[in-house]
Amino acid sequence: MTASAAAPARKRLFIRTWGCQMNVYDSTRMADVLAPLGYAPAEAPEAADMVILNTCHIREKAAEKLFSELGRLREMKRERESAGAGMVLAVAGCVAQAEGAEITRRAPWVDIVLGPQTYHRLPEMVARAARAGGAVIETEMPVEQKFDHLPEQAAPPGITAFLTVQEGCDKFCSFCVVPYTRGAEYSRPASAVLAEARRLVAAGAREITLLGQNVNAYHGEAADGGTWGLARLLRELAEIPGLLRLRYTTSHPRDMDEALIAAHRDIPTLLPWLHLPVQSGSDRVLAAMNRGHKAADFLRIVERLRAARPDIALSSDFIAGHPGESREDFAATLALVREVGFAASYSFKYSSRPGTPAAGAPQQVPEAEKDARLQELQALLREQQDAFNRSRAGMVVPVLLTGPGRHPGQVMGRSPWLQPVHLQADAALVGQEVQVRILAAHPNSLSGVLVSGEAASHILSAEEPAPA
C-alpha cells in the first residue's frame, strides 16, 4: 500500500473558541490531536465535517449563548446530512464540564461533550460516537495528565504563541467556577515546558505567553526531583536562543513572591506588563470573595514591582456588585484604581454561577445598581487606559512585528505593553523586533514610524526620554 493510500481521508474541522487564552491554547491542541485522523482547518462551520465549540463559563449567560449557537448548528448539521455529508458536533471546555449531560438533554443533536481535562482522548471519542450512534460524554477529571498524551504541535505557532504551564485552581473564590470545571492546581514538569518552548521557537515563535489559571502558583517538578517556581522557569526559558519575549497570565496576588518580582527586574526578555487581578478595593468584599489578601497587600505588591521594574504597566480584573457590596465598598474600589493607575483592565458586574458560594449569598445587589457601578468603574478604567496609551506618544519602543496590517504597505506588531502598533514597513521584517517611534494613540491601538530596520536591543523605559 502506498503512503498516499494509507493516509486518512481529508476532513474539515472548525473550532469556535470563547473565553480565555487557555481556551485558545486548548483549541490549538484539539486540532493537533485530530490532525492524525485527517482533520484540517475549515473556514466556516457549514463546510466542516466536525465542529467543536470550546466554551467558557466565566462570562455572563455562557450556557444560554452556547444553546443559542447549538440551535444554529442544528440546521447546518441537518443540511449536511440531507446532502449526504455529516457533521460531528462537540461541546468542549468549562461549560461542558459544568453542564455535562444537560447539554445532550437540551440539544440531543450534540455528539460529544468533553471537559477541559479530557480532550487528549478526542480521537477515541470520535470513534465511539461513530460506532454507538449516540452522545459521548467525558467530563471526569482523570488522574493521568492530558499533557502526557498530547502529540507535538502540528501547526506552526506564528510569531506569538501560548504555552500552558499550569492548570486548575485551589483558591475557591466565592464567585468563580474554575475550581469545579478545571480541577485542582497542577503544574507541568519543567522539562516538558522547556521542550515545548524550544519546539515553538524552532517553528518560528518569538514571543511566548505562559498560561495558567494561577500561573504564578506554578510549582513544576525539576529534573533533579526538586521543584521550580515560576521565577526559575522564566529564567530558564529566557536562555532559549531566538526567544525574544516572555509574558505570563493570569496571576493571583497571593502567589506574587519576591523571586518573581526579582525576575521582572533581572530578565530583559520578561516584558514590563503584568495582569494581576485584584477584583475589589474593599477588604470586606475581598474577604467575602475569599481572595485571601487585603487591598493593602495588593498595593504593597504594586510598590515592589514598580521599584523592581519602573516601566512595568499593570492590568487587572474587577467585579462590580458582588453580593454584600455597599456603596462604601465600591468607593474603596474606585480609590484603589485611582491610587494604582492601570494601563488596561477587565471589569464585569457580578453574575451568579450555580454551585458557587456567592450564588446563594444574602444581600444580592440589585441589577440596576450593578449596572450603574460597572459603568462608573469602566469610565475610570477607560480614562486611565487612554492616558497610558497617550503617554507612549513620542517614545521609541521595540515592537515585535507579527503580520500585515489592514492597509497596503502596513504591518502590525505589539509594544512591550501589549498594545497593537501599526506602521508602514516592509513585510519582510515580520518576525523581527524593530525600533518604532510612537506617533499617536488611537482607541484600541498605537501608530508609529520605523526608526531603524535593526533589531531592537532593549526596551525603552517609560522613565527614559525618547531620543530626539
**Binding site members for [4Fe-4S] cluster:** 20, 56, 94, 169, 173, 176
Closest CA relative to residue 396, chosen from 427, 426, 433, 345: 433
Q: How is residue 457 written as a grid cell? A: 536591543
CA distances from 379 to 332, 340, 344, 372 (A): 16, 16, 12, 11
Q: Which residues are CB-neighbours of 46 under 8 A, at least 6 positions away?
A: 76, 79, 80
DSSP code of residue 418: S
Q: Which three cell numbers stand for residue 35?
A: 490532525
> What stretches of 172-299 adopt beta strand conformation (E)?
186-187, 207-211, 219-221, 227-229, 245-249, 273-275
Instruction: Report the alpha-carbon distance of residue 308 to residue 325 in Å, rounded.
Output: 34
Burial of 91 (0-12, 13-18, 19+ CB in 10 A): buried
- The span from the CA of 277 to the CA of 345, in Å, is 9
Enclosing H/E stretch for 130: helix 122-132
State whether the Cα torsion 90-96-101-107 is positive or negative: negative
Residue pair 66/30 in contact by the 8 Å Cβ criterion? no
* Bridge partners for 315 per DSSP: 275, 344
Neighbours of 80 (CB within 10 A): 17
Q: Cβ of 98: how many Cβ atoms within 10 Å?
A: 21
Angle CA 356–360–365, to nearest 5? 105
Look at residue 467 and give its three-state secondary structure. Answer: coil
Binding positions: 20, 56, 94, 169, 173, 176
Q: How far is CA 48 from CA 99, 113, 198, 397, in A?
A: 25, 18, 32, 43
Contacts of 376 (CB under 8 A, 6+ apart): 334
